[in-house]
Chains A and B, each alone.
Chain A
Amino acid sequence: MIRHLLKLAWHRKRANALVIAEIAVSFLVLLAVTGTGAWFAYVYALPTGFDRQDVWSVEISRAGGDDAPPSDEARAAFSRLLAESKTIDGVREASLAFGVPYDGGTWDWEEDHDGVKFTTEVDRVSDDFDKVLGIRVVAGRWFEPSDDALSFAPVVVSLATARSVFHTDEAVGKKFPQEKGEPEKRVVGIVREFRKAGELSALGNFTFSRLTSTAADGSGPRFLLLKVGPGSGVDVEQRILDRVRAVAPTWSFQMKSLAEMRALRFREILVPLLVGAIIGVFLLLMVGMGLVGVLWQNVTTRTREFGVRRAAGASAAAVRRQIQLEIFVSTSVGLFAASLLVAQVPLLGFLPPHFARVTLIAFTGSAALMYLLTFLCAYYPSWMATVVQPAEALHSE
Chain B
Amino acid sequence: MLRSYLKLAIKVLLRRKFYTFISLFGIAFTLTVLTLATALLDHVFSPVPPERHLDRILYVKQVTLHGEHITLRGSPGFGFLDASVRNLPGAARVTICTRGSDVVSYSGGQKLRLSLKRTDGEFWKVLDFDFLEGGPFTVEDDRAGNRVAVINEATRRQAFGVVGVVKNVPIIRDVPFADLWVPIGTEPSADYKSQFSGSYLAMILAKDARDLPSIKSEFDARVATLKAPDPKEITSIASGADTLVETVAREVLPGTGRDAHGGLLEALLVLGAVLFMALPALNLMNINLSRILERASEIGVRKAFGASSRALVGQFLVENVVLTLVGGVIAWLVSAGALRSINLSGLVPYADFHMNLRILAAGVLLALVFGALSGIYPAWRMSRMHPVEALRRRA
Contact = CB atoms under 8 A, between A and B. Distances in A.
Contacts of A65: 77, 191, 195, 197-199
Contacts of A289: 22, 25-26
Contact of B191 (A19, A63, A283): A63
Interface in A267-318: 279, 282-283, 285-287, 289-294, 296-298, 300-301
Interface in B169-206: 188-189, 191-192, 195, 197-199
B344 interface: no
A286 B280 contact: yes
Contacts of B279: 22, 25-26, 29, 283, 287
A9 interface: no
Interface string B266-308: 0000000000001110111111011101100000000000000
Contact of B282 (A18, A250, A285): A18
User: What does DSSP make chain A's interface, helix, strand, loop or mixed?
Assistant: helix
A290 B197 contact: no
B131 to A, nearest CB: 28
A291 B282 CA distance: 11
B283 A63 contact: no
Nearest to A301: B293
A8 interface: no
Contacts of A287: 279, 283
Contacts of B106: 234, 237-238
Interface in B92-138: 101-104, 106, 109-111
A237 B111 contact: yes
B22 A290 contact: yes
Contact of B197 (A68, A286, A296, A397): A68
A293 B191 contact: no
Contacts of B231: 68-69
A249 B188 contact: yes
A234 B103 CA distance: 15
Contacts of B310: none
B2 interface: no
Contacts of A249: 188
B252 interface: no
A61 interface: yes
B380 interface: no
B110 A297 contact: no
Interface string A193-227: 00000000000000000000000000000000000
B280 A283 contact: yes
A25 B22 contact: no
A235 interface: yes
Interface string A150-188: 000000000000000000000000000000000000000
B33 A293 contact: no
A252 interface: yes
A358 B333 CA distance: 39
Nearest to A15: B289
B191 A297 contact: no
B74 interface: yes
Given A241-B104, A254-B101, A68 B230 contact: yes
A63 B282 contact: no
Contacts of A64: 191, 195
A25 B285 CA distance: 14
Contact of B285 (A18, A250, A255, A291): A18
B111 A25 contact: no
Given A29-B279, A279-B33, A18 B289 contact: yes
A63 B198 CA distance: 9
A292 B293 contact: no
A294 B287 contact: yes
Given A18-B285, A234-B106, A294-B290, A61 B101 contact: yes
B393 interface: yes
Contacts, number: 110
B19 interface: yes
A67 interface: yes
A25 B282 contact: yes
A294 B191 CA distance: 71
B5 interface: no
B29 interface: yes
Nearest to B74: A67
Contacts of B280: 283, 286
A240 to B, nearest CB: 11
B294 A250 contact: no
A63 B18 contact: no
A290 B191 contact: no
Contact of A234 (B102, B109, B278, B282): B109
A289 B287 CA distance: 10
Contacts of A68: 197, 230-231
A243 to B, nearest CB: 14
B395 interface: yes
B72 interface: yes
B15 interface: no
Interface centre among A22, A67, A237, A287 (most CB of B within 10 A): A67
A67 B282 contact: no
Contacts of B18: 293, 296
Contact of A297 (B29, B102, B192, B293): B293
B283 A290 contact: yes
B72 A286 contact: no
Interface string B18-55: 11001001100110010000000000000000000000
A15 B282 CA distance: 13
Contacts of A255: 104
B32 to A, nearest CB: 9
A300 B395 contact: yes
A292 B278 CA distance: 19
A19 B231 CA distance: 62
Contact of B102 (A19, A233, A254, A286): A254
B3 interface: no
Contacts of A254: 101-104
A122 interface: no
A43 interface: no
B126 to A, nearest CB: 25
A21 interface: yes
Interface string A54-89: 000000010111011100000000000000000000
B289 A290 contact: no
19 contacts: A19-B286, A64-B195, A65-B77, A67-B197, A68-B231, A249-B188, A252-B188, A254-B101, A254-B102, A283-B29, A290-B26, A296-B18, A296-B290, A297-B290, A297-B294, A300-B395, A301-B293, A301-B294, A396-B394
Interface of A: 15, 18-19, 21-22, 25-26, 29, 61, 63-65, 67-69, 233-235, 237-238, 241, 249-250, 252, 254-255, 279, 282-283, 285-287, 289-294, 296-298, 300-301, 396-397
Q: Which 6 A-B pairs have the closest CB atoms?
A: A297-B290, A290-B283, A250-B189, A289-B22, A63-B189, A286-B26
Given A254-B101, A286-B30, A296-B18, 13 more contacts: A15-B289, A29-B279, A61-B199, A63-B192, A65-B195, A237-B106, A283-B280, A287-B283, A289-B25, A289-B26, A293-B22, A293-B286, A298-B290
